[in-house]
């Protein structure tokens, strides 16, 4: 008896050693977010920023004042396919959270079954059945049925909080998909606004080229009159004819660009081609809104792409922790409770037909842990990768705002100088035309003045469009548009 007890002690000691050996787990890589810690205090040395004044926190309905543009954005937010796809990604992530949460509670199922079996009479089971009296005077039949039904439960006890960690990782991933949706919203609003301003610019350029065509038509008529009066040559007539044909060809090019731009906006709105309602007459008089950048650290809270990357980093860290806990033993408890008998009529005889079981199992990986190690190493590498993605998002956001703030100042100066150039060239056109009518200026001078004026007007319209679009871009870069 003493030998038997010692034997049990040895078995228990070996089992405990094996369990402890299986608990050894590698350590995850310790990562440090230096980019976040070293975010500059301002976007440039000249502008220190004001933490209480940040245009990125302004709701888009207050930022955009054009009612036609607001209506287009509302349509896009309802119908855009990319946004709809993103919303389904949120639903998928939400289901992932529910799945992880469900693993924390026991699994209970109900079932039943029936079958027959025959065992040899000269076996231990057959001999036992033959000597059993279920009812007085009746032997147990050779062919026995088996009828059963009841409840079965299984539960993995979360002793290492592995399941809770997996659930927290799923929650972080779900929240990152919500921020991803916000980033899609911000991008969508920016795209609609930029395309809308480009469309208005094309409308104004079409008006300019039509006015230029009329001007060339008049110049051609004057050159023909002067030719008949021997004040000009056939060369002048042909030059004005070619310039008129060129301006008409440019008009059709712009018309095609307008059609394509309208359809880009319709695609963003998730609808078939239709005319975009807009007021082109007010385009050149639009004054870009003043944008306030706040301080760089506010980007971490305002920009959805940064918050999304931060949540993905959090999820990656939790995934590493969950993968590390796979090296630890798991405790599973299973239980059954039901009725079982070899004859259906016996199922209702209680408590004889009641069958129950309860078992606990503690098991851990011991040999051939390569799959678990591979999963851990993969999770650890993804954690580091997520850190780089987060750092990249912060750096790109800072550079976006810094570049666009510089662009706002430069494009304003560019627009002012282009406006002065356009006014001077418009005056020179009148002077050149008057001199040409009086045969005091050559036709080449008239053509050059008209071409320069046309180019200046076209560039002035483009400068206005860049003014407005740059403000929209910096609004989005500051994290605006999704609120």
Q: Mean pLDDT over residues 380-391, rounded?
A: 95
For the ranges 28-42, 312-326, 375-389, 454-468, the lowest mean pLDDT is seen at 28-42
Domain assignment present for residue 483? The answer is: no
On whether the CB atoms of residues 174 and 96 are closer than 8 A, the answer is yes
Q: Could you give the 3-state DSSP secondary structure of residue 154?
A: strand
More confident residue, 308 or 240: 308
Domain assignment present for residue 125? The answer is: no
CA 407, 411, 412: angle at the middle one, nearest 5?
Answer: 120
pLDDT band at 368; cut points 50, 70, 90 = confident
Q: Using DSSP, how many helices (H) and how many strands (E) does the chain show?
A: 12, 6
On whether the CB atoms of residues 157 and 107 are closer than 8 A, the answer is no
How much of the chain, in percent, has pLDDT values that exceed 90? 55
* pLDDT given at position 350: 86
Torsion angle in degrees (nearest 10) through CA of 454, 457, 458, 459: 120
User: Looking at the predicted structure, is the pLDDT value of residue 1 above 50?
Assistant: no
Domain assignment present for residue 184? The answer is: yes
Instruction: Identify the domain containing residue 312 by its residue range.
Output: 26-104+158-206+246-329+364-478
Q: What is the pLDDT of residues 76-118, one digit of tens each?
A: 999 999 999 999 999 999 999 999 999 889 999 999 888 888 8
Domain assignment present for residue 115? The answer is: no
Q: What is the pLDDT of residues 172-192, one digit of tens each?
A: 999 999 999 999 999 999 999
Nearest residue to 322 (alpha-carbon basis) of 385, 376, 364, 381? 376
Question: CA–CA separation, 59 vs 61, rounded Å?
Answer: 6
Tokens of 33: 């977010």
C-alpha gyration radius of the chain: 40
Determine the distance from the C-alpha atom of residue 258 to the mean position of all C-alpha atoms in its chain, rounded to a whole number. 30
Nearest residue to 39 (alpha-carbon basis) of 415, 439, 306, 420? 306
Determine the distance from the C-alpha atom of residue 82 to the mean position of all C-alpha atoms in its chain, rounded to a whole number. 9
Q: Mean pLDDT over residues 143-147, rounded?
A: 80
Q: Could you give the 3-state DSSP secondary structure of residue 111?
A: strand
Question: CA–CA separation, 45 vs 62, rounded Å?
Answer: 30
Nearest residue to 383 (alpha-carbon basis) of 471, 303, 461, 320? 320
Tokens of 169: 């990782």
For the ranges 12-16, 94-98, 349-353, 439-443, the lowest mean pLDDT is seen at 12-16
User: Looking at the predicted structure, is the pLDDT value of residue 215 above 90?
Assistant: no
Domain assignment present for residue 114? The answer is: no
User: Looking at the predicted structure, is the pLDDT value of residue 236 above 90?
Assistant: no
* pLDDT given at position 43: 84
Using DSSP bridges, classify how beta strands 138-139 and 133-135 pair: parallel, antiparallel or unpaired: antiparallel
User: Looking at the predicted structure, is the pLDDT value of residue 139 above 70?
Assistant: no
Tokens of 40: 């500059």
Nearest residue to 114 (alpha-carbon basis) of 266, 306, 339, 286? 339
Q: Mean pLDDT over residues 35-39, rounded?
A: 84
CATH (domain of 452): 1.20.1600.10
* pLDDT given at position 49: 62
* pLDDT given at position 259: 97
467-to-286, 415, 450 alpha-carbon distances in Å? 10, 8, 26
More confident residue, 146 or 457: 457
Question: CA–CA separation, 107 vs 352, rounded Å?
Answer: 27
Domain assignment present for residue 398? The answer is: yes
Q: What is the pLDDT of residues 246-258, one digit of tens each?
A: 999 999 999 999 9
User: Looking at the predicted structure, is the pLDDT value of residue 2 above 50?
Assistant: no
Q: What is the pLDDT of residues 313-343, one digit of tens each?
A: 999 999 999 999 999 888 899 999 999 888 8
Number of domains in the chain: 1
How much of the chain, in percent, has pLDDT values that exceed 70? 89
Question: CA–CA separation, 429 vs 436, rounded Å?
Answer: 10
pLDDT band at 4; cut points 50, 70, 90 = very low
Q: Which residues pair with 143 in a beta bridge?
A: 118
Using DSSP bridges, classify how beta strands 354-363 and 330-341 pair: parallel, antiparallel or unpaired: antiparallel
pLDDT band at 237; cut points 50, 70, 90 = confident
For the ranges 18-32, 193-207, 208-222, 321-335, the lowest mean pLDDT is seen at 18-32
Domain assignment present for residue 222? The answer is: no
CB atoms within 10 A of CB 62: 8
For the chain, give the mean pLDDT.
Answer: 87
Nearest residue to 425 (alpha-carbon basis) of 445, 451, 453? 453
pLDDT band at 203; cut points 50, 70, 90 = very high
* pLDDT given at position 39: 86
User: Looking at the predicted structure, is the pLDDT value of residue 348 above 60?
Assistant: yes
The DSSP output letter for 317 is H
Domain assignment present for residue 109? The answer is: no
């Amino acid at each position: 008896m003493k030998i038997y007890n010692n034997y049990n002690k040895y078995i228990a000691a070996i089992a405990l050693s094996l369990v402890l050996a299986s608990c050894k787990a590698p350590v995850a890589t310790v990562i440090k977010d230096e980019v976040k810690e070293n975010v500059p205090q301002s976007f440039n040395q000249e502008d220190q920023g004001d933490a209480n004044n940040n245009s990125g926190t302004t709701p888009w309905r207050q930022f955009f004042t054009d009612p036609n543009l607001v209506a287009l954005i509302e349509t896009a937010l309802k119908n855009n396919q990319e946004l709809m796809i993103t919303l389904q990604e949120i639903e998928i992530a939400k289901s992932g959270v529910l799945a992880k949460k469900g693993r924390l509670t026991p699994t209970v199922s109900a079932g039943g079954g029936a079958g027959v079996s025959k065992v040899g009479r000269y076996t231990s089971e057959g001999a036992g059945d033959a000597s059993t009296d279920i009812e007085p005077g009746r032997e147990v039949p050779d062919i026995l049925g088996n009828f059963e039904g009841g409840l079965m439960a299984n539960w993995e006890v979360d002793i290492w909080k592995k399941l809770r960690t997996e659930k927290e990782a799923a929650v972080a991933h779900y929240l990152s998909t919500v921020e991803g949706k916000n980033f899609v919203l911000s991008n969508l609003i920016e795209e609609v606004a930029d395309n809308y301003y480009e469309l208005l610019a094309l409308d104004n350029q079409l008006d300019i080229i039509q006015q230029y065509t009329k001007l060339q038509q008049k110049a051609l008529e004057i050159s023909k009159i002067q030719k008949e009066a021997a004040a000009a040559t056939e060369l002048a007539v042909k030059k004005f004819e070619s310039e008129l044909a060129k301006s008409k060809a440019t008009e059709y090019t712009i018309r095609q660009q307008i059609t394509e731009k309208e359809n880009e906006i319709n695609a963003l709105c998730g609808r078939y081609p239709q005319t975009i309602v807009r007021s082109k007459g007010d385009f050149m008089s639009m004054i870009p809104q003043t944008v306030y950048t706040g301080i760089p650290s506010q980007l971490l809270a305002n920009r959805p792409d940064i918050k999304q990357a931060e949540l993905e980093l959090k999820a990656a860290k939790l995934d590493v922790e969950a993968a590390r806990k796979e090296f630890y033993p798991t405790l599973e408890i299973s239980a059954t409770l039901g009725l079982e008998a070899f004859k259906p009529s016996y199922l209702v005889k209680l408590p004889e037909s009641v069958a129950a079981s309860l078992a606990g199992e503690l098991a851990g990986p011991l040999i051939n842990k390569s799959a678990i190690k591979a999963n851990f190493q993969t999770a650890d590498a993804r954690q580091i990768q997520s850190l780089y993605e987060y750092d990249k998002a912060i750096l790109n956001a800072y550079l976006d705002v810094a570049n666009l703030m510089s662009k706002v100042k430069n494009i304003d100066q560019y627009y002012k100088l282009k406006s002065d150039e356009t006014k001077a060239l418009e005056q020179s056109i009148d002077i050149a035309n008057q001199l040409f009518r009086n045969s005091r200026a050559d036709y080449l001078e008239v053509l050059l003045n008209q071409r320069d004026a046309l180019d200046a007007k076209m560039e002035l319209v483009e400068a206005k469009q860049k003014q407005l679009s740059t403000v929209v871009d910096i609004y989005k870069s500051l994290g605006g548009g999704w609120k």
